Structure 1
């Protein structure tokens, strides 16, 4: 067995172990439903799956890939394999990118790359598709620098979609420029564009175009989740906008100082290393940090708002913390290089491999139980069966008209309403609200159909059949909201009714 093969196998096993440790109870049978992480049993292909309905085509092609895999394997198992695959792919890629002749430094680089604040926060906000692209980033660096197998290396990001490919492009293009100049940039850009065609085509086919609410720039800008402010948090590889996506106990001074010092040590060691791609990757990390930091200031937010006004696709820059991914890779490889210097002292090498876990211990066991696997209630399946058997046309409206839910059966974890995926059967469109509330800010809907329904629901007695609605699902809501819905639906037939969900079929001819 060659040294490279041995290192790859060891890193894959380490990544698998760290993935199991991080996911913990989330590996139980059922689904992990948290923030943007939404998987459903027996998913079906729909217009929404391909980005031809709803808001921006962010689920393209990731949802189509999951749906295809779920035709062969149980969807619960598909989710576990993807989440564990992120840890295995990322750890192996970083380990093989490290040039060390010793196994220890490679494993240190791999361990840090998959166990750090960036991975923790993106996992807890449920952005598995972005993390899939992140896991493939070391492979992209390797492919671009060698000039071989770019297409294979880009595949994880291509599956991840819009944000994952944008982060990958930000990393790959400076590397290509540093390697062979503009010719390599053109070739690399060609590969990136080719693998971006699924969501580019879906965006181009939208008759209403692509719009984004500039409010999202302020709502999703990097935030301070350490005592060092927003920029200090970004340098610590944190800074996510959602306070609920931060590991428990993350804000303590001791942990924050340790994580910042670890990143700084890794960056310094990387800059002092002899890695051939040092300048290119350092340039990508600097650009990524700059992109993430722009939204921290008022002038920066104004600039981003203007750019988003030109084209809605630039809204990918509003959640700019995601662009510190190349900085994370720089720190990981630097820590591997630092370990190389003490490789003669095996005790120190072993200790270095444990440092990433030691400075972020609360990622373990599903972030101390934040992640968990649950089953959908039987009433959800019963409602889907009713809708699937009905040959009559008409959309499905989900109430309350809010994008995120806290279900008792999901441990009251916040999650993007799964109804849009769960009830998309028989070609029927499921209409939910995609507006997002962040504190006192509301980022407006990108879906013209949702905006249309919002106006309809603003009246005292909405004409749902006239708005093309045949079924209404009520799966949450306060006592006051449910009472209002009862008035709206007093003439509708109740087909499924329990504490978790009510399904109504509204009366009257449905407009097409």
Structure 2
């Protein structure tokens, strides 16, 4: 039965993804997978998709890219469930299944999935294995446990760092301060080496971070329990569209609060076989503090970001609640073990009662968040790219000219009819083996109006000053603008959503390479 938690995780993944497992690509917010992805270098902004995009591109050399996406998403659930189960000190199946279900079916996982942050979820899924390796294994085992987060990139690794340092330091404190410091330094070193794929381009990137993002990405109340209550029940993501259906009601919020209390109590009562107990609790507490910073002390966080752009990842503070999710999962497993009786004393409850407790523990997380099932009631669904997208990809990637491609209209997100109107980051940012210039700024509707967060790519800011607020046809028709774009290395212009026959077949300084119902590809 050792594989039971992983099997449960796969089953939960299939239930959660539902229609997303059909042939095609799941496109929602940051989750942008494309056919035949190129091994393209990172753009001019912060390397948020490094090395995740490159790993996907390599895997897509072996399997179709849509199959790669589904396998990665299912892996998140299986890895998360089996890892949480492995941390439960009780060896019986029922407490471990309860922990597995709690960790692989949480508001945190659901919200980040609906926000499309699959790369962060790789780090979330690997987090329990990192904790286990930190207290039981050496550097090689710890490095292996960090691989999912390393693939996920910077945010997944930052969440991992938040967890592994206090877990290592506090788990070995009984062996003396010197040993604890040595172990912590080794853990930090392993983390640093595995962070090089994104840290090196980040240090070399000419990126800037807008402090206004603190207000845009601050945790928010996604139910009747307020912001802190939402965070403690593993919700509170900044984007209201990422809420799991039904989670804002009193039933879901209230039962999740009760489940959180039971789980934390079970964790606090655990003593034997939990060497990571203090460290994981410290990481969970620190995560909640970071998550609340954008709400409680936004001015301090803005000042830090203004002083050094490296503090930018702290804007999305709710991401750092992941250690609390793991603590609650292990705590629920411990609570189920306590209610099932102590197997070591010969005084367990009868077999039927023990099985019933275990079944309830594994099912309750699903009952308090039923809206995650079936692709969050259709919010996740697989679709096919129109043929003209593939045609444009082939034309651009097969062209020997190495100039950049500019995407218009000048906005980051799209809602294509063929994708069911779901909002997604423009797929053109991932499809081409050259520099793609796009508007990486963000507009977020807040309680006091729309918050505009400037993009991180300095070159995109310069080009944005030329094209922002102008219709695509105007931009290309202006000879002076075309000349400036050429100066910045722009070779192609991709117009999206312009409609068939709405652009002339050619004009001075512009060649129409492709014209479709939705896309027009121009060469300057």
Task: Give the alignment's TM-score, normalised by structure 1.
Answer: 0.91
Aligned residue in 2 for 1:158: 150
Contact 1:399 1:476 in 2 (8 A): no
Write the deviation string for residues 416-470 of structure 1: whole angstroms up to 9, x where unpaired.
Answer: 1110111x23xx3221111111111111111122112112225763224344322
Q: Please list every run of at least 4 consecutive aligned residues from structure 1 whose deviation after the TM superposition is greater than 4 angstroms.
A: 485-491
Alignment root-mean-square deviation, CA: 2.0
Given the alignment, which residue of 443, 450, 453 partners 2:463? 453
> How far apart, in 2, do the equivalents of 1:57 and 1:430 lie?
13
Give the 5 Å matches for 1:289-300: 289-297=288-296, 300=297
Q: CA deviation at 1:388?
A: 3.0
Query: Given the alignment of the two structures, is residue 43 of structure 1 paired with residue 37 of structure 2, yes or no?
Result: yes
Please point out which of 103, 116, 125 is paired with 2:93. Answer: 103
Question: How many Å separate the matches in 2 of 1:191 and 1:308?
Answer: 26
Shift of 1:65: 0.8
Q: Does 2:167 align with 1:175?
A: yes
Hey, what does 1:399 align to over in structure 2?
A: 408
> Shift in Å at residue 60 of structure 1?
1.0
Tell me if structure 2 keeps the 8 A contact 1:236–1:263: yes
Note if 1:386 corresponds to 2:395.
yes
Pair 1:233 & 2:227 matched: no
Q: Which runs of 5+ in 1 are unaligned?
A: 1-5, 507-512
Whole-angstrom CA distance in 2 between matches of 1:307 and 1:477: 42
Query: 1:3: which partner in 2?
Result: none
Separation (CA, whole Å) in 2 of partners of 1:303 and 1:131: 28
Task: State how 1:304-343 maps to structure 2 within 5 Å.
Answer: 304-343=301-340
Partner of 1:410: 419
Which stretch has the larger CA shift, 495-504 or 9-18? Answer: 495-504
CA distance in 1 between counterparts of 2:505 and 2:17 reads 43
Corresponding residue for 2:444?
438
Tell me the residue number matched to 2:492: 471
Q: What is the aligned counterpart of 1:498 among 506, 513, 516?
A: 516
Structure 1 partner of 2:282: 283
The alpha-carbon deviation at position 491 of structure 1 amounts to: 6.1
Q: How has the CA–CA distance of structure 1 residues 489 and 378 changed in structure 2, closer, same or farther, with 3 Å as cutoff?
A: farther
Note if contact 2:499-2:517 (Cα within 8 Å) is conserved in structure 1. no
Q: Say whether the 8 Å CA contact 2:208–2:458 is kept in structure 1.
A: no
Cα distance in 2 between the residues matched to 1:328 and 1:189: 22
- Aligned 8 A contact 2:246 2:369 in 1: no
Distance 1:492 1:70, change over 3 A: same
User: Which residue pairs with 2:386 in the alignment?
Assistant: 377
2:74 is matched with: 84
Equivalent residue of 1:296, what SS?
A: helix
Distance across 2 between alignment mates of 1:490 and 1:362: 54
* Structure 1 contact 158–165 (Cα < 8 Å) conserved: yes
Contact persistence 2:40–2:54 (CA under 8 A): no
Secondary structure of the corresponding residue to residue 29 of structure 2: coil
Aligned to 2:198: 199
Contact 2:112 2:121 in 1 (8 A): yes
What SS does structure 2 have at the residue aligned with 1:493? Answer: strand
Distance across 1 between alignment mates of 2:275 and 2:190: 23
- CA 105–492 in structure 1, closer or farther in 2 if over 3 Å, else same: same
Shift of 1:496: 2.5
- Change in 2 beyond 3 A, CA 1:370/1:191: same
Q: CA separation in 1, counterparts of 2:511 and 2:396?
A: 13
Contiguous gaps of at least 5 residues in structure 2? 173-179, 341-348
Deviations 1:356-392 (A, max 9, x none): 1100001000000000011111011111222233333
Aligned-pair CA distance for 1:245 = 0.5
Partner Cα distance (2:255, 2:508) in 1: 59
Aligned counterpart, 1:10: 4
| Secondary structure in structure 2 of the residue aligned to 1:227 | coil
Structure 2 CA distance for aligned equivalents of residues 486 and 261 of structure 1: 63
In 1: Cα distance, 2:508 partner to 2:379 partner: 39
**Aligned equivalents of 2:419, 2:53: Cα separation in 1:** 21
Deviation at 1:201, TM superposition (A): 1.0
**Residues 352 and 393 of structure 1: is their aligned pair in 2 closer, same or farther, counting only changes over 3 Å?**
closer
Counterpart Cα distance in 2 of 1:373 and 1:198: 30
The change in CA–CA distance for 1:174 and 1:388 in structure 2 (over 3 A counts) is: closer
Answer with 347-356 or 412-421: which moved more: 347-356
Contact preservation (8 Å) 1:456, 1:467? no
The match for 2:344 is: none
Contact 2:506 2:512 in 1 (8 A): no
SS where residue 222 of structure 2 aligns? coil
- Which of 61, 64, 67 matches 2:54? 64
Change (3 A) 1:377 1:394: same
Distance 1:155 1:234, change over 3 A: same
Q: Identify the range of structure 1 (76-85 vs 181-190) with the bigger mean alpha-carbon deviation.
A: 181-190
2:129 pairs with one of 139, 152, 168: 139
C-alpha spacing 1:403/1:118, structure 2 compared with 1 (3 Å): same
Q: Aligned in 2, Cα 1:488/1:183: closer, same or farther, shift over 3 Å? A: farther
Distance 2:386 2:265 in 1: 51
Tell me the equivalent position of 1:510.
Answer: none
SS at match of 1:401: coil
2:6–2:78 CA contact under 8 A, matched in 1: yes
